Structure 1
Amino acid sequence: MPARSLTALTVLLSLLLVGCGGPAAQPSSESPTSQETTEAPSPVSIPDTHAGQKVQWIIDMLESEADATADQWEAELDPTFLAEVSAQDVTDLVNTNLRPARPFTVTNYQGTDNEATATLQGTLGEPFAVSVSLGPDQKITGLWFGPPTNIEFQEPTSIDELSERLQNLPGEVSALILKDGETVLDIDASTPAPLASIFKLYVLLAVGQSVESGALTWDEELALTDELRSLPSGELQDEPAGTRVTIRDATRKMISISDNTATDLLIDRLGRESVEQAVADSGHHDPAALRPFPSTGELFTLGWGDPEYRERWNSGDEAERRAVLDLIAGEPIAVEASAITGDPVWGDGIDWFASAKDVAAVHQTLQALDSAEIQQILAANPGIELGQWSYGGFKGGSSLGVLTGSWLLKDSDSSATVVLLYRGDDTEAVSGQLQEFFGLAQAAIGLVR
């Protein structure tokens, strides 16, 4: 088992509290859905090895009465790990995205004395895996949270096999793989599809453009208001009104943990029209498809609030849709996270829509800004392992009936873009393909290299 650093947090958003490109099958701007386990999983024991003891310590932290602290994590993390990921980042992500699903049952365990992977089932969402690798002093050198390892998963060995496996998923797939400007794989890459949280790339582009023009600075502070408080995923939704966050930190939260409230703070500061202009500037094939550009809170209200909003949005033109958003604006969100359930709403036009080619284009436009800040923000959470690629800018998402992932990859002499957009009318069928979807994404990143 190779040592792995902290990744797959976007995946976790999809696995746990279920929500919106921001709830990602959890809480994300998409659709947070609360999900109860209907059948108790069978527990397995954790062996008394060094790795087993460390896995048990992590479980104890997850199930503790109080949130874990950065000091507790720092004492267990090796300096080589801390050089890449801070103890505070680990603490925030674990407390926000994992602990709400406690208590946990260990349903699978595999490992040696110094490396192990355990599968945990909580009271919310899908099971997830935690993998640890230990150094000579038994400190954690590798830590990874993500979809459970599927022992039946067979990694495709060619692009043709990858294409076939993607097209065999029970739903609709759009996929695009580019390498050094050449098309390696194209599956309906020009077909518009719901993006879930990938839409946040357009907000990021608008931020980058505004900083470049001098209209914004990274250090400018935004104040949280009740009117802009969205649903999970994220953490800002739990902070009191008046909490201040810089443009830099809000943008980082929007991309790395798909924070929906951070996203809405940014959209409010930028102005909806600035984000819509960024969509056009990115080369979207039909910018009108994202006009008007809803916030995450507005999307939750459209999909699960007053049914009249949904009907008017679905049947309305741009002017009518703007009128609907005007009705929603200025009021705290009236939808509870527990209400984000049922059938997908993207079929009624409620999501953010773009093709795989459009997503590749916005990634490339972001890179063209030549902003070290933006490149760092995109690389903070690569979603899955990058293999031999030295850089990976990532944004993915999930919502009811939607799984998406997009990567901009670079090394010293090559670059590639991988975009996978998967959707279906059957929410359970789509969510049941998490392991296959992200396993194929991992394979795509390796094959294109």
Structure 2
Amino acid sequence: MPQTSRLASGRSAWRRALALSAATTLIVTSAPGCAPSPSPQANAANSGRQIDTRTPPGIRAQQTLDMLNSDWPIGPVGVGTLAAADKVESVQTTMEALWWDRPFALDGVDIGASVATLHLTSSYGARQDIRIHTDDGGWVDRFDLDTRAPTVKSWQDIDAVLSKTGARYSYQVAKVDDGHCNPVAGTNARESLPLASIFKLYVLHALAGAIKNGTVSWDDQLTVTDKSRAVGSSGLALPAGPTSRFARPPRR
């Protein structure tokens, strides 16, 4: 009987080991198929550098980088897990503006007593430093952004900087002499490209003319629509409906 008992016990242990081995193999082989693959943006921002997260500033630096490189928009709930309560709004405003330029590559990080400075490069090549200060509770109570201006000493430097952005661009610099416009420098000057923000100047110019001509009044109500609020401007927080001045758009 003792021998039979030991044999049964040995078989039972062997079965448990086999089952555990099979389960482990199943988990290992199934995990890659179940886990989502890293997004191209995350891959693009991965420079192989690591942030030491053994201190509160290091933890907040890593959290900041993760939030900026995430596809989830920046919002008060997420920022509320990062910043002190009275700093959520200001930190959110800064991070929202940065988020559109993702992914960010980590060039380096400096960590000191209650402070960490992230050295980042945006998707279009801008070099930016984010200085994060934490309070006694480990919450971010200062969040400062500094964009390092590129070194430009020649027209060639301008092309070098612009080409790093990966964007299509064109420009021309000219000198007006005796009423004649003489080109001095430029790239792709014959290529016509849309100039996004300059359209605002056209609208403002037309609006000024309409007011001068009396077709628009300062007392007109501005109708804000959901469509006009969906153009990516984080600063347009007005509700839809007639809430401000100038309801009628200027006619050109």
Tell me the TM-score normalized by structure 2. 0.45
- Which structure's residues are more often strand, by fraction? 2
Q: Per chain length, whose mean CA-contact separation is higher, i.e. which structure has more relative contact order (CA < 8 Å, sep 6+)?
A: 1
When Rg is computed on C-alpha atoms for both structures, the one with the higher figure is 2
